[in-house]
Chains A and B, each alone.
Chain A
């Protein structure tokens, strides 16, 4: 094994440019994964915060009988998805608006804001589909004029997350494929460069596993290096974004290690795929 590692390291010396190229493509692959992973991670965090506040607001038509509203509140509170229902009267609505929009308080006159029901939804039903379904049911009450549930931006956030994940995964896969191809051609060169040695190894009875090992180790090490490089790149990007754009969350240690291991796996895979094919031709 000692010998195999030494041979693997010699391969870096023998083809420094190609080795650097394979390491960089693996790094780019993981960088793409990582960057979009970070975006997805931060969007998820943002969504979680938003979701905690998700509420449906149902505006009550003028002149509705208080009894009807009270009955409806009882009904709605009994929905399994609903956490809490609260009535906001015209007066309360005005108060709140004045408080929240301090300097514009004079804009609001009594009676301009309708009374409404504020419905909070239980955790687990805060995704756009569930919220929409609940809203539909509430809208069925005759006295409900209008209903709002911030549908647009919740959906937008969700869509953004989906797009970021998809873009990250597909770009990452493309780079991973390119990395595998480049590693394949590096292995081809390495096998060619060592063909005399390989022939002698075979002649004196070295096993196939022994002959293969240095190439697999070479791929593994390149992947590992690529992974570390990618981690560095995402860290730098993260710092940059944190400083100039928005404070964000970084991966935990487990994710970082996983990313580097995925890099090593890509490298190993790239070598494993091509080494058998090229060794057969020696």
Chain B
């Protein structure tokens, strides 16, 4: 569903922020993107939601290729993604439900469909009782839940989270992280950039580790890529088959001796 092929990204100044990185992420996967500050985590995510374009190589997401993507295609792709950030990025002059509804209204969702969808995701993130609260009336953790609800309301294929717990205390961090796991359990892939190693170590999710723009470690794809994960060279929305039995295992069901140290670079390349 997400495939990086020999991707290099150079910003106008300085050396490459991303240096020849290749990996892929399957549907329904939970992936940690780790590494010290400045390693290139945000840049990787930005290339997934096409805030940035690769300088070399190809990024392919949900059948859309970075090699052939006009402005219209970018907005189409983004409707299939959800993105959350460390700083929540809520609109201060709107309530929780208005913030979520905004994401539906601006892509032309019929008015009658908005309210039920908003109510559903606010319940899912545990904020049904605070739907009319303004961001400044909510705690950090609650604000991040609103942002997650907004990211989820269009039923994304993947939720991209750039340091979603970076501004939260430990309790809120645990809550938000638990919510991301629940979302993943419903079949939505989650790609979470974080430098919180305790979080990464406590969970046996796939980990991509960045260092100075290079992918230095990949614990390996959870599932082998199926043939339909990457469509043909023709860009355009891929038909999305139903998720069949590919939900991630709950932690308890995970084999205790799951490999957590596979050899690095290139390990992610599916056969």
Contacts and interface: CB of A to CB of B under 8 A. Distances in A.
Interface of A: 3, 196-197, 199-208, 210-211
A204 B89 contact: no
B217 to A, nearest CB: 29
Given A3-B105, A200-B102, A210-B106, A205 B77 contact: yes
Contacts of B75: 202, 205-208
A144 B71 CA distance: 80
Interface string B71-93: 11001111111010000010100
Contacts of A204: 78-79, 102-103, 106-107, 150, 154
Contacts, number: 48
A8 to B, nearest CB: 14
Nearest to A4: B106
A203 to B, nearest CB: 6
A201 B107 CA distance: 8
Contacts of A200: 89, 91, 102-103
B71 A3 contact: no
Nearest to A1: B108
Contacts of A196: 89, 91
B49 interface: yes
Contacts of A206: 75, 106-107
B72 A205 contact: no
B27 to A, nearest CB: 19
B121 to A, nearest CB: 13
B242 to A, nearest CB: 23
B53 to A, nearest CB: 15
Nearest to B154: A204
Q: Which of A3, A203, A207 has the most CB of B within 10 A?
A: A203
A3 B89 contact: no
Interface string B144-158: 000000100010000
Which 10 A-B residue pairings sit nearest by Cβ, starting from the closest? A205-B78, A205-B79, A206-B106, A204-B103, A205-B75, A201-B106, A207-B75, A205-B107, A3-B105, A208-B71
Contacts of B81: 205
